């Protein structure tokens, strides 16, 4: 218990003094995971809507694949990304292995199925008559789709929060593709693992507390938007 309190005090001290390395690590964590979630939204929400609103051969297989992807082990995602980005891999000529870009790719592979799968569920639970009502009022197909997103904004925001939570706390994939390089690819989770292995438990606990605070602040903002019924910037009410 004393060790935990020491870690908490260490976290407070690091935050108050504005430790440069810790701030750099925290900002890089937020940048990588935030970018991954943004890309996952741009991919997962349209894909989820497409699968929820259309019917075509192979649709069930795609939905099953997305549902499987929601439980994809992060180390498997990291392995696939490594295989493609290795120097001898098909995308090795890009030379982005052990860079933040590779970490974003790995996190997108983790978060996109979560966002897509929960978007499918969010759209499917809407009243089917809502689409017909929007079209009968003169909405174009694009306006109708935006209306559906607006009506499903609460579970959609929950999908975004789930995607962010799944990647900001991930360690296996980012360590495999990022390498935990100081000043370049070291994030809060990989730094925590490193400090724990070195026996610096107070610093590891401090980094964990900072990570929890960061996740709490981001989710607090998203929850405030969700509970107020406000839509994120990608949602606009058709007129």
Q: What is the per-residue pLDDT across 20-34, written as a single tens digit (0 to 9) for each?
A: 888 899 999 999 999
Q: Would you state the pLDDT for residue 1?
A: 63
- Residues with Cβ within 8 Å of 41's Cβ and at least 6 positions away in sequence, in order, are 115, 160, 163, 234
Mean pLDDT for the stretch of residues 175-193:
92
- In the structure, what pLDDT confidence band is assigned to residue 229 with cuts at 50, 70 and 90? low
Which among 160, 162, 161, 187 has a CA at the least distance from the CA of 173?
Answer: 187
Cβ(172)–Cβ(78) below 8 Å: yes
What is the per-residue pLDDT across 136-171, written as a single tens digit (0 to 9) for each? 777 777 777 788 888 888 888 888 999 999 899 999
Instruction: Provide the residue ranges of all domains of the chain, joining segments of one domain with +.
Output: 2-16+28-228
d(CA 213, CA 219): 10
d(CA 182, CA 165): 24
Tokens coding 9: 């005090």
pLDDT at 239 over 50: no
The class level of CATH for 2-16+28-228 reads mainly alpha
């Amino acid at each position: 218990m004393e060790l935990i309190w020491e870690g908490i005090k260490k976290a407070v001290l690091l935050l108050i003094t504005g430790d440069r390395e810790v701030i750099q690590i925290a900002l890089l964590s937020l940048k990588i995971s935030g970018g991954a979630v943004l890309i996952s939204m741009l991919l997962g929400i349209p894909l989820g809507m497409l699968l929820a609103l259309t019917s075509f051969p192979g649709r069930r297989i795609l939905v099953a694949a997305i549902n499987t992807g929601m439980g994809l082990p992060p180390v498997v995602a990291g392995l696939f990304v490594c295989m493609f980005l290795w120097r001898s891999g098909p995308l090795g000529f890009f030379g982005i292995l052990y860079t933040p870009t590779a970490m974003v790719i790995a996190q997108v592979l983790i978060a996109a199925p979560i966002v897509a799968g929960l978007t499918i569920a969010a759209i499917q639970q809407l009243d089917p008559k809502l689409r017909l009502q929007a079209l009968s009022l003169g909405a174009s197909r694009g306006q109708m789709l935006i209306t559906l997103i607006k009506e499903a904004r609460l579970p959609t925001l929950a999908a975004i929060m789930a995607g962010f939570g799944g990647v900001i706390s991930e360690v296996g994939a980012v360590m495999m593709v990022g390498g935990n390089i100081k000043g370049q690819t070291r994030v809060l989770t990989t730094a925590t693992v490193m400090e724990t292995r070195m026996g610096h438990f107070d610093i590891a606990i401090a980094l964990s507390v900072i990570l929890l605070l960061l996740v709490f602040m981001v989710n607090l903002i998203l929850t405030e938007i969700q509970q107020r019924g406000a839509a994120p910037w990608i949602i606009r009410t058709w007129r």
